[in-house]
Structure 1
């Protein structure tokens, strides 16, 4: 296997994978910033706009799982290429959709592409860099953060300069089509194990029979959901509960995103010196401490802690993926697909629950949902930490 992997043009495929995930971040932030213009273009209200986001998230969640399932059966480059094509077509079609119904199809196509790119690139990279899974995945997800930073700035400039928001989608579509061609026509593709249906069913049974996989799934569910709650409700919390100005709160969220990028770079380095389980446990402790400071601290303290808390959320998802691939090396496609799906479900459930609790009382109480979620994740991982750490050490020894 190692000799086969060495024949692949790894630099080209690696860079293309990085750029593909950056396009995921770009596309998601494009939609967020251009949503008012999109509402005006389609003549829809906020409820219908929310339904667009729901269809996109549904496509992402389902295809993150399907992408992992097919990653053990077909060439992963084909999965990523299909994702790039679907995302690009959806982005272009969203600009020219003649009706709201067609825009739902375009949003679904974008969600499908986002999910396939997410699962496909993750599984492709861990199969190419078998001895540095944590490092490569953290670096990989830095590019999602870079796309998330570039997206709002680029779309904002396009809207300010003549409300030409469609140009951003057309440009992203062209880039994605080029990436699709690279993946479709790349030579010496990464070999796959070629499982059949009975083997896939057996893999699922083995995964769900393994208690360690349940722990990783639920910790990812709670942590990823909590991260999105901070990103979506953080500004509202600072303004309404801590009396910060909108400008101050928005700046804090921008710094939060920057610290996510910096944190993933730091985690990629830490994986060379520390076990993945130790990194995850440390970040879970820091998440709980910082969330308590945000909740109980004064205005400026809450503002500052929320800004830097991006560091504690940064490497959780890539590090948990690397740990999963290490513990289940023969089932990395379906296991990473399930992990991505649980992260998406966690985002949906915790965001809804936070909004529901905040509606019954106020946003300050709503934030407690995130504190409780991170606390539960910490307790679960702390209890099983010795077992997971031992299994990780055994997996590393077996690989060496």
Structure 2
């Protein structure tokens, strides 16, 4: 049962990635058809992100009341309906209306599935799942491109992706009983999560944000997603303007960055059998910081390419490993709520921090891009290391307390 459920979760992660990259791929055609301004795509993206942030923040309470299976089904159904709304959209205003449920559904699925996997499966599954999100994010634009190139409208592409989402919603509906069985029967919960559950104070009046280390974890997520999104949004502009690369070559180099993340997460899944999450997070951050420094140095464009690839490979293990550490760091009791907070802060970083660079660059130069990435990577590393020191002190204190009680 647990294996079947895991396959369904993998499919859900592919489905989760499908719509994320479609808007950008379809926008050049959508803009002309709808007579919209160029910046409308950014406003649509922020509307979707706003819904995702809100649903992530409240996901803890919703998941506790209805369970991960039911929330995943309803949220997938909501995103499928929203994508179908894009197909029927007669105007830009309709797109904004549909963007709201699209964001709300995505945030609830993301937080719910991440918490479920973190609590019930080993670390390698979390890395592979986020690699499968990359598969979905890659397939989405391919589907859209096929419909546009074949002479069909962008709306047909949204119709096809909506159909895939509806199929997944039906699968989730039919397999709802598996979620409880999987929760009861799965034996893969990591020992460190169980131990941390005993260590932490679970008094009823303790709120998730009052747990030591939670705020540092949120800061780490903020800077991680800020760095990841900023690389994707402004990397090509930096290569064209500063490194004098042709636009096509710059786009290809940015694709190497995303490939580094996707492939890196797949490889990380195997490495987790031998290396723990904290070590992988630290090594990934050091590798990403090294790549960012390569961008900063005034060397040839080959070093810039190496920097892009190193940053992608470095970022690869950080996000899934930090998510998987949530129950171990803060206990299972609050993990659903904290996971929602983490996803909300992550989306906040990816939504607002890249435009900050754009604003600064518009008043100076895109040449500040490497400095910005170095600062984000360094801030992520420092906040993560401070969290590790805090957790180590808690573990030492808990061990000492346990020893004194034994004596």
What is the number of equivalent residue pairs in this alignment? 379
- TM-score scaled by length of structure 2: 0.86
Contact 2:257–2:309 (CA<8 Å) still a contact in 1? yes
Q: How does 1:63-102 map to 2 (within 5 A)?
A: 63-102=55-94
1:154 corresponds to which residue? 143
Q: Which whole-Å deviations, capped at 9, do the CAs of 1:115-162 have from their partners, x for residues lacking one? A: 122112112223432xx1x21111111111111222222222221121
Instruction: Provide the rounded CA distance (Å) in 1 between the counterparts of 2:151 and 2:234.
Output: 30
Structure 2 residue 373 is matched with structure 1 residue 370:
yes
Contact 2:56–2:108 (CA<8 Å) still a contact in 1? yes
Q: Structure 1 residues 30, 154: CA separation in 2 closer, same or farther (over 3 Å shift)?
A: same
How far the C-alpha of 1:232 sits from its partner, in A, is 0.7
Structure 2 residue 358 is matched with structure 1 residue 341:
no
Match of 1:38 among 30, 39, 50: 30
How far the C-alpha of 1:227 sits from its partner, in A, is 0.5
Q: Structure 1 residues 188, 49: CA separation in 2 closer, same or farther (over 3 Å shift)?
A: closer
How far the C-alpha of 1:222 sits from its partner, in A, is 0.3
Contact 2:326–2:339 (CA<8 Å) still a contact in 1? yes
How far the C-alpha of 1:81 sits from its partner, in A, is 0.7
1:169 corresponds to which residue? 158
Match of 1:106 among 98, 103, 128: 98
Instruction: Provide the rounded CA distance (Å) in 2 between the counterparts of 1:49 and 1:293.
Output: 32
Structure 2 residue 21 is matched with structure 1 residue 29:
yes
Contact 2:234–2:369 (CA<8 Å) still a contact in 1? no
How far the C-alpha of 1:391 sits from its partner, in A, is 5.7
How far the C-alpha of 1:389 sits from its partner, in A, is 4.8
1:318 corresponds to which residue? 320
1:360 corresponds to which residue? 363
Contact 2:293–2:370 (CA<8 Å) still a contact in 1? no
Q: Structure 1 residues 209, 39: CA separation in 2 closer, same or farther (over 3 Å shift)?
A: same
How far the C-alpha of 1:390 sits from its partner, in A, is 6.5
Match of 1:190 among 180, 204, 212: 180
Q: Structure 1 residues 280, 388: CA separation in 2 closer, same or farther (over 3 Å shift)?
A: farther
How far the C-alpha of 1:188 sits from its partner, in A, is 4.0
1:197 corresponds to which residue? none
Unaligned runs of 5+ in 1: 1-8, 194-200
Instruction: Give 3-state SS (helix, strand or coil) of 1:190's partner.
Output: helix
Unaligned runs of 5+ in 2: 185-201, 403-407
Contact 1:350–1:370 (CA<8 Å) still a contact in 2? no
Q: Structure 1 residues 142, 377: CA separation in 2 closer, same or farther (over 3 Å shift)?
A: same
Instruction: Give 3-state SS (helix, strand or coil) of 1:154's partner.
Output: helix
2:258 corresponds to which residue? 257
Q: Structure 1 residues 393, 247: CA separation in 2 closer, same or farther (over 3 Å shift)?
A: farther
